[in-house]
Structure 1
Amino acid sequence: MATAHSGWIQRTRIGLLAVQGAAVFVAAAFVVAAIAGFIPGLTTNVDQLHWAGPASHAHLFGVFQVSVLHNLLHLVFGIAGLLLARTFARARAYLIGGGLIYLGLWVYGLIIDLAGPRNMMPLNNADNWLHLTIGVVMVLLGLTLAGTKTPTGADGEPLIPDEE
């Protein structure tokens, strides 16, 4: 909706729907994790950070094995989420689809030899269980927060009054 005010057209400020807010939060967490994967102190053994594979001995927070490829994939996944969070349907698709991808990555991490050549990311047991958690949380957010499409203003007030 547009209203005339002092010769300028003003648009009603619409806040994010819950599913969009969750997508922004998850996507931002991926971007932060991706950047943290390159920062000494947050990532141990940064000097041993390899492009890919289990030879990379860098660990985010000293726990999660990372590589340049791993960090870049998190960055791409986060940026994609920020872009997709612009609409209800795309935010929901990001959360559910991304959650399913992470559940698939968890299964992949369980069935491969973590020291073998198929471990391109690289993954360790901590990564596997984090991927399970991320996958479950993203799918649940996509399913449970999608219950309402009622837009709210920037301060949370409904912009469409409830019909009585």
Structure 2
Amino acid sequence: MASHTGSGVVAGHKLNSLVAVAFGAVFVLVGLAGFFVSGGHHPAGTEGGELAGLFQVNVLHNVVHLAAGAAMVAAAIVGSRQAKRANTVIGLLYLLLFVAGLFLVGTPANVVALNDADNVLHLVLGLALTAAGLGFDRD
């Protein structure tokens, strides 16, 4: 049974480590799944396949998911400080990607094949990861 103490420990793990490994694993799975729908398209560009019938992806977009996921899982394995840092940095990068996506969708500069659904998801992910990184496991 999981125990919770005032220091942010659940079953012996810091919350940021749990967030990093959970989100990281999902990013890796999404990155891999994206190759099944984006394989016939150019590696980078405004056109791509649709993941779950909603999110536009291409090979470059999938590589971004894989890299973010691998970094988060690796950080969680190394330790809670690294997981905290990874959640914060990757959260901020997703917020930056959200802002960039507002200007890129519908333009030739949209090399990671973003669409409006991607932008909304990037905003939610960015806020959640940044909040976890800055809010959990404070010393």
**Residues 47 and 103 of structure 1: is their aligned pair in 2 closer, same or farther, counting only changes over 3 Å?**
closer
Partner Cα distance (2:28, 2:109) in 1: 25
* Corresponding position of 2:83: 91
1:1-164 paired onto structure 2 within 5 Å: 15-39=12-36, 43=37, 46=38, 48-56=40-48, 58-85=49-76, 86-112=78-104, 114-147=105-138
Query: Could you give the per-residue CA deviations for residues 84-116 of structure 1, whole angstroms, max 9, x where no partner exists?
Result: 11212110111111110000000001123x232
Residue 33 of structure 1 aligns to which amino acid in structure 2?
Answer: V
- 8 Å contact from structure 1 (residues 49, 66) kept in 2: no
Structure 1 gap ranges (5+): 1-13, 149-164
TM-score after normalising by structure 2: 0.84
Partner Cα distance (1:18, 1:80) in 2: 17
Identity of aligned residues (%): 38
Larger Cα Rg: Structure 1 or Structure 2? 1
Considering fraction of residues, name the structure with more helix: 2
Structure 2 gap ranges (5+): 1-10
C-alpha RMSD of matched pairs (Å): 1.7
